[in-house]
Amino acid sequence: MKILVTGATGNIGRMVVDHLLAGGADDVRALTNNPARAALPAGVEIAEGYLGRVSSLPVAFEGVDRVYLAPMLETIDEVVSLAKQAGIKHIVDLSGEAHWTPIAQAVEGSGRDWTHLFAGDFLENATVWAEQIRASDEIRDPYPAVESVPIAMDDIARVAAKVLLSEGHSGQTYELTGPEVLTRADRIQQIGTALGRTLTVRQVPPDEAVQIFARTMNTAEWYVEITGSMVGWHPEPTTTIADLTGAPATTFAQWAAANTDRFR
């Protein structure tokens, strides 16, 4: 069974490759626009290209049975059409609700077997505060009380590999979350604990937060707007990761302890 991993240079796609190999896959093809950067393990077949360059996909899709589909809205209709033409049997997509709904809809409309992986806030998004944490013990944030159930990218990759390597997942939508509900202030304080520091949080207006985050991200205005839309939302954690993989989801404290260098 040949499995194609798209976005293999990206954070999650690269991890999917590793988890497939660890799970016993022996015919993995990786789609990457930068093979050198991906540093793929020996034995992984490389297909040069990416989802945004659809002309590169027919060769990459040839002979593929199952595919991990990284999220890319701009070309989703062309991508699923080519997947259908290539005879790909099962598409496992990373998508979600709201902004990402068109991906799930297009995959379902392809006529292929499908599995949706819905994920929200990533643990790794906490690096949005890294610059401030390196400079001060007082962290400014526009919505410190906003809650989420952040998930590790590696946990998403573990689930994707499990689904690609086993049966019984067709037509399923898996809601993937971390193990606990945390406010943004909770996460900042847990980073402080991992660093051996006491971090405090000061709420600032959204326009001030945009200026702060714009120093390190190109989508600061969008990020602050999306965060603000979560005010009053009270999410619930799921046990999907543990149920599917047999191992619990990564806690934020575990991630922070393993990633202190990102904040020093």
Q: Please state which of the four CATH numbers 1.10.760.10, 1.20.120.140, 3.40.30.10, 3.90.25.10 is assigned to the domain occupying 123-150+179-236+250-263.
A: 3.90.25.10
Report the SS3 class of residue 1.
coil
pLDDT at 174: 98
Contact 5, 13 (CB under 8 A): yes
Q: Is the pLDDT of residue 38 over 80?
A: no
Q: φ and ψ at 43, to 5 degrees? A: 95, -15
Cα dihedral 14, 19, 22, 28 sign:
negative
Planar angle of CA 77, 78, 84, nearest 5 degrees: 90
pTM of the entire predicted model: 0.94
Distances (CA, A) of 144 to 71, 114, 117, 183: 28, 37, 27, 6
Greater pLDDT, 55 or 35: 55
Count of other CB atoms within 10 angstroms of residue 178: 27
Average pLDDT, the chain: 96
pLDDT at 9: 87
Chain segment 49-95, per-residue pLDDT in tens? 999 999 999 999 999 999 999 999 999 999 999 999 999 999 999 99
pLDDT at 98: 80
Greater pLDDT, 96 or 207: 207
d(CA 3, CA 100): 23
Q: Which CATH architecture has domain 3-119?
A: 3-Layer(aba) Sandwich (3.40)
- Residue spans of the domains in the chain: they are 3-119, 123-150+179-236+250-263
Task: Name the DSSP class of 95.
Answer: E
pLDDT at 195: 98
Pairing relationship of beta strands 3-5 and 147-148 according to DSSP bridges: unpaired
One-letter-per-residue 3-state SS of 186-220: HHHHHHHHHHCCCCEEEECCHHHHHHHHCCCCCCH
d(CA 235, CA 36): 40
Assign 120 a pLDDT band (cuts: 50, 70, 90). Answer: confident
Assign 208 a pLDDT band (cuts: 50, 70, 90). Answer: very high
Q: Is the pLDDT of residue 183 over 90?
A: yes
Q: Is the pLDDT of residue 161 over 90?
A: yes
pLDDT at 96: 87
Looking at the chain, the whole-number percentage of residues with pLDDT higher than 70 is: 100
Q: Is the pLDDT of residue 97 over 90?
A: no
